[in-house]
Amino acid sequence: MKFKIQILKRAYIGTLVVLVLALTIISRLYQLSFYPEKEELFKNAPWAQKDNVFRDSITVIPGRRGNILSRDGEILAASSTLFDLRMDFATGHLDSVTFLNALDSISYYLARVLKHSRYTPGGWREVLLRAYRNQNRYFKIADNVSYSEYSKLRKLPVFRLGRYKGGFIAEPQTKRVHPFKMLALRTLGYVKDGVTKVGLEGTFDKELSANDTVRERFIQTPNGPIPLHDPTSIISKVGMDVVTTLDINLQDVVHNALLRALQYHDADRGTAILMDTKTGAIRAISNLGRVKNGWAEIYNYAVGHASEPGSTFKLASIIALLEDGYVDLDDSLNIYGGKRKFYDEEMVDASYHGFDRTTVRHAFEISSNVGIASLVDSFYNHTPKGRRRFVRHLKDLHLHLPTGIEIKGEALPFIKDPDASTDQWSGITLPWMAIGYEEKLTPLQLLTFYNAIANDGVLVKPYLVSELQKSGRTYKRFKPTIISSRLVSSRTLKKVHQLLEGVVQNGTAKKLRTDLYRFAGKTGTAQMNYARRNGQQKYQASFVGYFPAERPRYSCIVVIYGPKTNGYYGSAVAGPVFREIADHCFQLDPALHYPVNALVAKFDARKLPGPQPVFADDARTMAEFAGLPLQDAYQEAIWADLKPVAVSDSLLLRPRQLADNSVPDVRGMTLKDALYLLENRRLKVRFKGTGYVVAQSIRPGTAAKGQTIFIRLKS
């Protein structure tokens, strides 16, 4: 029995020894399979030195950040991979013969391939040879090397042997790049360690970021950490792409139009926003501030800067008056010659107009401070109930609320409350509020209000991001948000539309109007330091509106702060920028163009005027293009009278006989045709007006003897 127990003990001991040996072998095989570099490194004497300590540290490697795209797929912000190149001259496998034979080639191509090479070929040869002799373990070749440069260099002798045989180390680094440079740069934003996250990069940081990849990192040497693997072999995970509402073509238009205005007027800063009227999608946003060498995107003034809006706020005041039924557009109004005292403060109109009385409509069109302030003061400022009523109207227009746009840092609007002791309400507060002082709004908040007026009273939330994409597929879509379906009554809305169109047709912005399309809006010129009695005055010029006026597609605001040269009024500084943006939108967007034959399709000959003198070939071309029947009485006639025939809905072309030696009848003709006929008879022509000739100073049929003839034209 004792003998059997001894045998079992020996068997157990033998089994245990075998298990220990097996585990040791398995552990060794695992080490050699997954960490072969350690085995190579420990075979070399340098690794046994005290100063070269193996670090089993774990480092987190972030995945590639997603892209930010324009609405049509253009990349606005992306992560680019750059490489930091190093050399380990003490790898143990790089013999002197191999290195010296390749040294000249390496030196030549480093100088030639690296875009920002530090040395000439001779300089590279010297520093590389010195580093080899010193057995430098982590010699820096270059930082931030592009992939194309890296691809060429890794094919060089020695470098192509890799990390362990040649000592060539390439560490990938990720850098955020913006292919379109300054375009919407501040809106796109950034994410940096220790700094507040800004713009879309900050708002969607979680979605843009990818899950991190964890890997073993380095061995610590006196010359720095050395990777234990080839970092370029790591395949990082990729974050989501953010698709914005921005249109890169419109963004370019808005940016450059604003930049030219800042340069021309030597302004401090400026902002411009272009918004889709129906949805609130922002198609372009530019923010430029003065820097040492000009202007750059240094702050998002459109979202983060609230200021007194000035005359553009008068729209809110007139809406309150119309909604309460206190006034109508054609009511007579005393504007005191453009100057009036409210308590102890004198208010003046921006420019002299010479009117003592005018209509409410005209007061708004010429942006009379005294006129609008007098109305608000008269109907609201004499009782606490009246003051509360006016402020309630402003709040009904959502002017006291932020827009809630995605990006962080939106400044809060400020509307004074007569019941708040901290708001310092006084007798002059309401008249000044009526014309855009003693309250604050950001350009985006003001544009959102005007956009609702353009959108038939529907208030929509402005937004910058339309969807999130993952691997090219939509992960989440953001739809337009309606805040209020009826901001003002339809009756008031129609009158307000008339007022805003009147500003362009007859008022402060009439120099900006164009025959190509109609737009509506309001100029604003706010004195930024009006409370200061002394010192240089500074102004804020603005224009906000929408186009086309009859079927708005876009709303737009332009605000320029501190113009110093070539004017400071909103109509002269901000208005031209608005007009340039609108012009380009019409050029770039065919949907805004009127079809050439849109009116011809509804043509009614019975509505045409009487016989019109025309160049016969032009009339024939027009009739053929429009598909209208033409009765050509004499097909070889050069000049003719064009007359509608109501019964057959056709046109009659009758020849007009014009004597070569007498003054012709040019009434009804265009200026071009009139000049052609008159000057061919050696008459000297003076004209006034535009359109068609309505009068001529010499009776038709008078002998032409080189006289001077005066003609008057009218549209």
pLDDT of residue 710: 83
376-386 confidence digits (pLDDT tens): 999 999 999 99
Range 628-650 average pLDDT: 64
- Minimum mean pLDDT range among 61-70, 144-153, 301-310, 633-642: 633-642
Average pLDDT over residues 693-714: 84
Considering 41-50, 459-468, 676-685, the range whose residues carry the highest mean pLDDT is 459-468
* pLDDT cut 70: percent of the chain above it: 83
Q: How far is 89 from 61, CA to CA, in rounded Å?
A: 26
Tell me the torsion sign for CA atoms 148, 154, 157, 158: positive
Residues 76-119 have pLDDT tens digits of 998 887 888 988 888 777 888 888 888 899 899 999 988 888 89
Dig out the tokens for 89 from the structure.
């001259």
Instruction: State pLDDT tens for residues 322-358.
Output: 999 999 999 999 999 999 999 889 999 988 877 888 9
- What is the model's pLDDT at position 215? 54
Residues 339, 346: contact at Cβ < 8 Å?
Answer: yes
User: Cis peptide leading into 548, omega within 30 of 0?
Assistant: yes
pLDDT score of 605: 44
**All residues at 6 or more sequence positions from 587 whose CB lies less than 8 Å from its CB, including other chains:** none
Q: What is the DSSP string of 618-629?
A: HHHHHHHHHT--
Nearest to 266 by CA among 306, 294, 305: 294
Mean of all residue pLDDT scores within the chain = 84
Report yes or no: 218 and 57 within 8 Å, Cβ to Cβ: yes
pLDDT digits 0-9 by tens, 295-304? 999 999 999 9
- Of 453, 457, 454, 474, the residue nearest 465 (C-alpha): 474
Share of the chain above pLDDT 90, in %: 48
Placement of tokens 């902002």 in the chain? 271
Q: How much of the chain is in helix, strand and coil states, percent to nearest 5?
A: 35, 25, 40
Please give the pLDDT value at position 411: 97
Find residue 170's DSSP bridge partners.
85
544: nearest Cα among 503, 514, 506: 503
Say if CB 299 and CB 289 are below 8 A apart. Answer: yes
The better pLDDT of the pair 659, 77 is held by 77
Higher pLDDT, 55 or 270: 270
Residue 643, beta-bridge partner list: 652
- Asked whether residue 236 carries a pLDDT value surpassing 70, the answer given is no
pLDDT value for 53:
52
Token code pair at residue 345: 């403060």
Render pLDDT for 409-460 as a digit per residue (tens, 0 to 9): 999 999 999 999 898 899 899 999 999 999 999 999 999 999 999 999 999 9
pLDDT band at residue 515, thresholds of 50, 70 and 90?
Answer: confident
438 burial class (0-12, 13-18, 19+ CB within 10 angstroms)?
A: buried
Centroid of chain to Cα 406: 15
pLDDT of residue 148: 85
Specify which residues 348 forms β-bridges with.
339
